[in-house]
């Protein structure tokens, strides 16, 4: 349920205050009223949460314009409506210059004031939504990481940002290639210039061509008007081609020509259009192998990879996991209205051991899920997906120490290690041998043989782990 809006009314006429208190209370607002501008400033300073100020323009101790200035210093987001019996063009212009939402002339129609209040509150809500979206966008664009690999990338971004050289960003899916591209754009041009992105693998060839180059009216069925392509839209800014390795060979030729000549031609058009946009490409494929296999043009590869940037997978930069977790918890605290302070040590240990095949994108997904499910101040290990909290780290097994004189009972050691692994898999599977076999990627019969050979029993019990043969469920 939306909270009741709080309105502060300021007027030196007591009768006007009483009238507005009655009117606004009847409309469902919470009203506070004072007769002096200085008292209004004190109230604004002490009490937060006012959604609107309605003030007389002329008052003996402090006029409305002075009150507006003081209010903006305290909270610049509170909208202001002035009431005055002495309206003039100069005062109106001055009030609007200082940030007032609007003014109304006394005597006024009640409906006029009610509509003005609704519009002011609506504008306040819309501005708040825009600020939230801008904050979220800046958070999403923020690169997080303190590992040596990320520090090298930061340095490289700082070096290449002032240039307009073509860049090829490579890395597995989910590593944050577009974030790097946006960081380069922000460092070189800033947010006032366009950053235009497209996933080349998401479009069939003909549609990708029309998206990139645009088309003229009547050039094909459905082309009812001229349309700019993304090359034109990005002029003066950056064009980001994601998954560039997915482009068809014929499309590669057209991209190469555009890069070489700095000109494009819309589909169905005859005029050449000069393009002036920095191009950044990204791929999760090994384009050098694509060149060798003949699936990617060699000349286009060298045109794109003037400056190559490789983003290592998350498993290769584990020091980044903790700051990323902190960042995502804060992000989803704001989105979900939670107050989670962090994650338990057991939970973090699971995250640091996991291999993260989906990289940063998968980590964010895990934290969003855990934040949604968590009811305490710290995310518990149990809120993590089973595959994350259950993965066995190879380093946990350890290596035995032995000397030339002592030697090592290899068979005995391997049997001990095998037993530890099987027991841990069975524990993760809660004694279900079918699931344990899946965890260890062996057949059910193979696991059952190991359990019997090693003499593994349930912890704290004399009975063996329960045997669930999948074939026994078939009737």
- The model carries a pTM of 0.57
| Contacts of 463 by beta carbon, 8 Å cutoff, 6+ apart | 457
Residue 314: how many other CB atoms lie within 10 Å: 27
Please say if the pLDDT value at position 396 is more than 70: no
The pLDDT score that the predictor gives to residue 447 is: 87
Nearest Cα residue to 414 out of 359, 379, 453, 371: 453
Please say if the pLDDT value at position 206 is more than 80: yes
For the record, the structure tokens of 182 come out as: 């946006």
CA torsion 147-153-157-159 (nearest 10°) is 100
Tokens 């259950």 locate to: 390
Please say if the pLDDT value at position 369 is more than 90: yes
Q: Tell me: the pLDDT tens digits for 86-129?
A: 655 566 667 777 788 888 888 888 998 998 898 888 777 766 65
For the record, the structure tokens of 193 come out as: 């210039």
The pLDDT score that the predictor gives to residue 108 is: 84
Question: CA angle, 157 as apex, 155 and 163 as ends, to 5°?
Answer: 125
Please say if the pLDDT value at position 210 is more than 50: yes
Please say if the pLDDT value at position 141 is more than 80: no
Please say if the pLDDT value at position 454 is more than 60: yes
Beta strands in 229-333 (DSSP E): 238-242, 263-265, 272-274, 278-283, 307-310
Assign 147 a pLDDT band (cuts: 50, 70, 90): confident
The pLDDT score that the predictor gives to residue 390 is: 74
Q: Tell me: the pLDDT tens digits for 282-292?
A: 999 999 999 99
Nearest Cα residue to 160 out of 300, 278, 314: 278
Q: 139-153, 174-188, 405-419, 457-471: which has the highest mean pLDDT? A: 174-188
Residue 241: how many other CB atoms lie within 10 Å: 24
The pLDDT score that the predictor gives to residue 320 is: 92
The pLDDT score that the predictor gives to residue 473 is: 35
Please say if the pLDDT value at position 416 is more than 50: yes
Q: Using CA atoms, how far apart are residues 185 and 119, in angstroms rounded to an integer?
A: 37
Q: State the average pLDDT over residues 368-384.
A: 93
Tell the burial category of 201 from Cβ atoms under 10 Å away from its Cβ (0-12, 13-18, 19+). middle
Give how far Cα 454 sits from Cα of 135, 415, 442, 451, 457, Å: 57, 8, 16, 5, 9
Q: State the average pLDDT over residues 194-207.
A: 91
Assign 195 a pLDDT band (cuts: 50, 70, 90): very high
Q: Which domains does the chain have, with CATH numbers?
A: 6-137 (3.40.50.2300), 148-312 (3.40.50.300), 315-391 (1.10.8.60), 410-473 (1.10.10.60)
| Contacts of 360 by beta carbon, 8 Å cutoff, 6+ apart | 174, 175, 176, 314, 324
Q: Tell me: the pLDDT tens digits for 236-268?
A: 999 999 999 999 999 999 999 999 999 999 999
Q: Using CA atoms, how far apart are residues 407 and 384, in angstroms rounded to an integer?
A: 42
For the record, the structure tokens of 222 come out as: 């459905």
The pLDDT score that the predictor gives to residue 50 is: 85
Q: State the average pLDDT over residues 341-348.
A: 93
Instruction: Please report, rounded to a whole number, the percentage of residues in the chain having pLDDT higher than 90.
Output: 39
The answer to whether the CB of 296 falls within 8 A of the CB of 290 is yes
The pLDDT score that the predictor gives to residue 397 is: 44
């Amino acid at each position: 349920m939306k909270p009741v809006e709080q309105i502060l009314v300021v007027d030196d006429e007591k009768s006007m205050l009483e009238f507005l208190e009655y009117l606004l209370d009847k409309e469902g607002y919470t009203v506070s009223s004072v007769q002096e501008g200085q008292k209004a400033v004190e109230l604004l300073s002490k009490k937060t949460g006012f959604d609107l100020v309605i003030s007389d323009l002329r008052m003996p101790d402090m006029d409305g314009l002075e009150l507006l200035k003081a209010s903006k210093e305290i909270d610049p987001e509170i909208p202001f409506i002035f009431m005055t019996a002495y309206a003039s063009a100069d005062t109106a212009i001055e009030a609007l210059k200082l940030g007032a939402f609007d003014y109304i002339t006394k005597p006024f129609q009640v409906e006029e004031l009610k509509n003005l209040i609704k519009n002011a509150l609506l504008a306040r809500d819309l501005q708040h939504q825009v600020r939230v979206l801008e904050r979220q966008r800046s958070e999403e664009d923020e690169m997080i990481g303190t590992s040596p690999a990320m520090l090298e990338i930061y340095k490289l971004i700082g070096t290449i940002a002032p240039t307009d050289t073509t860049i090829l960003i490579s890395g597995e899916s989910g590593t944050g290639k577009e974030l790097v591209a946006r960081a380069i754009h922000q460092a070189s041009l800033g947010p006032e210039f366009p950053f235009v992105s497209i996933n080349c693998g998401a479009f069939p060839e003909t549609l990708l061509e029309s998206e990139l180059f645009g088309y003229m009216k009547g050039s094909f069925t459905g082309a009812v008007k001229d349309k700019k392509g993304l090359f034109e839209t990005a002029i003066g800014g950056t064009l980001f081609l994601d998954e560039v390795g997915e482009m068809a060979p014929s499309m590669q030729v057209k991209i190469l020509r555009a890069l070489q000549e700095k000109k494009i031609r819309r589909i169905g058009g005859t005029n050449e259009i000069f393009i002036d946009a920095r191009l950044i490409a990204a791929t999760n494929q090994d384009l050098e192998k694509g060149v060798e296999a003949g699936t990617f043009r060699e000349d286009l590869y060298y045109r794109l990879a003037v400056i190559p940037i490789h983003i290592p997978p998350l498993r290769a930069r584990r020091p980044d996991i903790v700051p990323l977790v902190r960042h995502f918890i804060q992000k989803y605290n704001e989105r979900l209205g939670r107050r989670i302070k962090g994650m338990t040590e057991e939970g973090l240990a699971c995250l640091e051991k996991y291999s993260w095949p989906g990289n940063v994108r998968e980590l964010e997904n895990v934290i969003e899920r855990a934040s949604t499910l968590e009811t305490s101040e710290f995310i518990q290990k149990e809120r993590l997906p089973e595959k994350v909290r259950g993965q066995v780290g190879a380093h946990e097994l350890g290596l035995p120490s032995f000397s030339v004189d002592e030697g090592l009972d290899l068979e005995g050691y391997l049997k001990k290690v095998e037993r530890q692994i099987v027991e841990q898999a069975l524990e993760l599977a809660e004694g279900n041998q079918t699931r344990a076999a899946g965890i260890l990627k062996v057949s059910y019969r193979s696991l059952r043989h190991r359990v019997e050979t090693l003499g593994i029993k349930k912890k704290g019990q004399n009975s063996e782990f329960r045997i669930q043969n999948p074939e026994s469920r078939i009737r």
